Amino acid sequence: MSTPDDTPHEGATEVRKTTCYMCACRCGIRVYVRDGKLRYIDGNPDHPVNKGVICAKGSSGIMKQYSPARLTKPLRRKAGAERGAGEFEAISWDEAFAILEARLGRIRADDPKKFALFTGRDQMQALTGLFARQFGTPNYAAHGGFCSVNMAAGMIYTIGGSFWEFGGPDLARAKLFVMIGTAEDHHSNPLKIAISKFKRAGGRFISINPVRTGYSAIADEWVPIKPGTDGALLLAIIHELIATGLYDRDFLVRYTNAGQLVNFDGNSSEFGLMVRDAASPEVNPMYPQNKMWWDRVSNKPVASHAEGADPCLFGNYTLPDGTPVTPAFTLLEERMRDCTPEWASRITGVPAATIRRLAHEMGVTARDQKIELPIPWTDCWGREHDTVTGNPVAFHAMRGLAAHSNGFQTIRSLAILMSLLGTIDRPGGFRHKSPFPRAIPPSAKPPNSPKAVKPNTPLGGPALGWPASPDDLFIDDDGKPVRIDKAFSWDYPLSVHGLMHSVITNAWRGDPYRIDTLMIFMANMAWNSTMNTVEVRKMLNDRDETGEYKIPFLVVCDAFQSETTAFADLVLPDTTYLERHDVMSMLDRPISEFDGPVDSVRVPVLPPTGECKPFQEVLIELASRLKFPAFVNADGSRKFKDYPDFIVRFETEPNSGIGFLSGWRGENGDQFLQGAPNPKQWERYANNNCVYHYRLPASYQYMRNWNKGYMDWAQRVRMRRFNEPILIQLYSEVLQTFRLAAQGKRPGRQPPAHLRDRIARYADPLPFWYPPLELEATDLARYPLAAVTQRPMAMYHAWDSQNAWLRQIHTHNYLFVNPLTAQASGIADGGWMWIESQWGRVRCMARYSEAVEPSTVWTWNAIGKAPGAWRLAQGANESELGFLLNHLISDELPGKSAEQRISNSDPLTGQAGWYDVRVRIEPATEADEKSSPVFALMPALPGTRATTPDTLVYTAKGPSP
Ligand code: SF4
């Protein structure tokens, strides 16, 4: 065996280090290659994310590499062939680029927004976003809108950070860990490692989830809950903490806006906003610092954080000019008064006594098991602290909370609960990961006028951003959306990740307009990545009165023959993660640790298969041909040779010294975060486990929202634009600003009449619970059960349904039903059954499970497949026995009229309400023992293969490797 630096001899095994991409966790791996063939993958013990641990998916990368479903040639739909029929001819890359250059060039010169680029779970959004911006189209987003944008937005609009890539539970020091609404493998290896250590150290783990599998199965306590009701539970816990005084007052008054005074003059256009101290400097107009407290020492209004002052949290006061004011915390307390455990119990199904016990356990653990680390630090107001304090209650939550149309306010509730316990960026609680914390809201804004879109011109700002008020909405003079997905409009004002799930429907309908070309990367939009799957597939095939497809040109870039490739006009074969360079950048979603920024790369360990080309190279090539300003020299010549060259030499601004990678910058590679391009940067990463890890001094590692040393450092290295403290927003002025506009009390932009009530109701500055929107449109007597999905531990969405090893674990899915529920409907364990919503019907097999609360049924997503897709054999279990629950989920809900139909999404963020559907179940009596609906067999695409010796050699039946 040789090391990566050794010269391999014939028959020797080379070991190369790169980064896994069998899921989104980005573990370090060692890849063993002999005679040019991939032989083995294990975890890299020197990698900070997984420390050598590998999971079933990670080690099965071999079967992804040699999958028969690999696309290996650019393909063009045959002339005269129908979309969806899967009839293609292979073309050269030169032809593919010529087609794209001509078409995209024409669109860019005419109306750039007629090109839309939407991507799935890619890890290069900084590049795809840059491409869209340079093209000049606003119609760009990644998968966040249909994944977990509520988690990002709800948390970031409240505490300036979020879970997963942005921050997480500090299980090394926590005593109590509460996991809510998290899939069984979320944050896979890193979280498994952390939970294992946490439990060995005696920590107590509570899981709140309708389903007890995965992590929940090893929890000390499982609290079953009805889907979509978590917000009510969280509010009741907040109610109890306030009622019993088990909140961290010291934390609240210094680090949140709990003590800040809210204008309570109902006649004022400032009603509900924080009052400002005219005598104090504003400091930063984007984030004014001159808010006020009512000082309980002097019993007078004072500037917020005035030295020696201590704010009242309760009461009603009158300013000298007669303005009635109230501390934000009083408003929160009043809002929570009716959110009793009994109230929440009726909604959630969790007994009131359990809710009280949970609240008490959280509060007492936070109060009585404090941690003091001997780390001196200075806060943003100049106070010096000898220690960092921790209240060791940690939470982790994800899509189970997010994927509901009430998810944003639910997640605001969670962030507020965590803040009341005093756990934000403290040991044993929640900790940020660089580049977080961000300002609230972050300073990047989307364009706010259609004038930002101009022919042959980059977009006048990033396509995605963080609105702070109606002035930041991307709407025209009539208040109509500028984006095809209606993001950043009055329909979904805080849709910070866009609404990918609405793109095809909107473009098909021409609402708000028709587009010309839709480019999709790594998203299975004709199957598991879309709601309303049957209809969306029809839309992709539908023509207008002139015979033109309603979405005229569809480009699909993927590594595999998915269901979506059948509908493409042009298919671009991507490489696997083992065949390309890639960056997990500080400009995007790096792999940072709690102790400082970390970014990482992938380096190719194998050459591309066939004519596969990394999508990154496709973008660099197109950007160069189309002469985007950032990709050409002053004389119009091509600037970057290829993607690796682009990564090394691209700078965010001329000579900014900031690029995609933060490590080994500068000509000698001795600078970090900022520095001139280093031509040897890739080599430095490759020789250092593909990772650059900068450890902050201990005094900068905690309390970063308010830590002067950290803030000054982060501003110096341009990780942050400003260095003002980031106060937690228990009370959201941003939301109140939208509400004032909806109520007609704020000058300037006003929502259209039909959206006023909606904005006024949901843009509530205080958290509240409401039933998911779909329930209002559902006959709950006929459809009494909730139906949810999660991905299994052994497969990441659709990616591995073609994986020969992982298919041995799952080749089809069941609907898991509590035995009490199943028996009440006469459904046998293992029997065929129907599951029906108001939107559709699916036949599937039942599996009894006591690990699901009785009013919920669930299944794994993305195991059921369309026949022939992913190059699975005709009759494969995935298409005959497996099923897709998405057929039961609608992407739209009825509005007040046909024109006013609404997306099945959160009314503020546009997050897809995947888990809001309600269903009924009954036994299937037909003799036909196959799942339904049934789809036509997808033919094999040119360039894909039947199962070959390459694959069989790695299975028990194959010849010896
Ligand atoms: S957890 Fe994800 S990234 Fe890590 S080894 Fe498994 S599949 Fe790969």
| Helix 352-368 with 230-244: angle, nearest 10 deg | 60
* Residue 186, beta-bridge partner list: none
pLDDT single digits (tens) 330-384? 999 999 999 999 999 999 999 999 999 999 999 999 999 999 999 999 999 999 9
- Choose which residue among 30, 55, 576 to substitute to test ligand 1 binding: the one with the highest number of ligand atoms within 8 A of its C-beta: 55
| Ligand 1 pocket residue status of 23, Cβ below 6 Å | yes
Q: How far, in Å, from the CA of 23 to the mean position of ligand 1? A: 5
Mutation to probe ligand 1, out of 54, 576, 805, 806 (largest number of atoms < 8 A from CB):
54
Nearest CA to ligand 1 atom 5: 58
Question: Do you know the residue count of the chain?
Answer: 961
Q: Which residues have a Cβ under 8 Å from the Cβ of 40 and sit 6 or more positions away?
A: 31, 32, 59, 62
How far apart are the C-alpha atoms of 106 and 108, rounded to whole Å? 5
Burial of 839 (C-beta count, 10 Å sphere; 0-12/13-18/19+):
buried
Give the distance (Å) from ligand 1 centre to CA of residue 561. 22
Ligand 1 contacts CB of residue 22 (under 6 A):
yes
* Cα 646 from Cα 604, distance rounded (Å): 16
Residue 1 has pLDDT above 60, yes or no: no
The model's pLDDT over 500-513, given as tens digits with 9 standing for 90+, comes to 999 999 999 999 99
Distance, in Å, from the CA atom of 246 to the CA atom of 365, rounded to the nearest integer, reads 10
Q: Is the CB of 597 under 6 A from ligand 1?
A: no
Parallel, antiparallel or unpaired: strands 553-558 and 140-141: unpaired
With 90 as the cut, is the pLDDT of residue 928 above it? no
- Ligand 1 atom with the smallest distance to the CA of 57 is 7
Neighbours of 174 (CB within 10 A): 29
The reply to whether ligand 1 has any atom less than 6 angstroms from the CB of 793 is: no
Q: Ligand 1 pocket, 58 CB below 6 A? A: yes
Residue type, 160: G
Distance 302 CA to ligand 1 centre (A): 52
Phi, psi for 75 (deg, rounded to 5): -130, 145
Distance CA 471, CA 199 (A): 48
Judge contact between 156 and 402, C-beta under 8 A. no
Q: Whose C-alpha lies nearest to ligand 1, atom 2? A: 23
**53, two tokens:** 């641990």
pLDDT tens profile 663-690: 999 999 999 999 999 999 999 999 999 9
**Residue 7 in 3-state DSSP?**
coil
* Residue 961 confidence (pLDDT): 42
Q: Which is nearest to 113 in space by CA: 406, 435, 507?
A: 507
Cis before residue 437, ω within 30 degrees of 0?
yes
State the pLDDT confidence band at 10, using cuts at 50, 70 and 90.
low
**CA–CA gap between residue 488 and residue 467 (Å, rounded):** 8
- What are 22-58's pLDDT values in tens digits? 999 999 999 999 999 999 999 999 999 999 999 999 9
Place of tokens 């991409």: 21
pLDDT exceeds 60 at position 78: yes
Q: Give the ligand 1 atom nearest the CA of 55.
A: 6
Q: What is the pLDDT of residue 638?
A: 97
Instruction: Supply the pLDDT for residue 719.
Output: 94
Contact 244, 367 (CB under 8 A): no
How much distance in Å is there from the Cα of 64 to the middle of ligand 1? Answer: 13
Beta strands in 56-103 (DSSP E): 75-77, 88-90
The predicted-structure confidence for 868-894, as pLDDT tens digits, reads as follows 999 999 999 999 999 999 999 999 998
Q: Is the pLDDT of residue 722 over 50?
A: yes
The residue whose C-alpha atom lies closest to atom 8 belonging to ligand 1 is 58
56 CB near ligand 1 (under 6 Å): no
Position 799 confidence tier, pLDDT thresholds 50, 70, 90 = confident
Pocket test for ligand 1, best of 189, 591, 602, 793 (most atoms within 8 A of CB): 189
Q: How far apart are CA 150 and CA 120, in angstroms?
A: 17
Task: Calculate Rg over the CA atoms of the chain.
Answer: 27
Q: How far apart are alpha carbons 425 and 390 in whole angstroms?
A: 9
Residue ranges of the alpha helices (H) in 517-673? 533-541, 615-625, 643-649
| Atom from ligand 1 closest to the CA of residue 22 | 7
| Type of residue at 282 | E
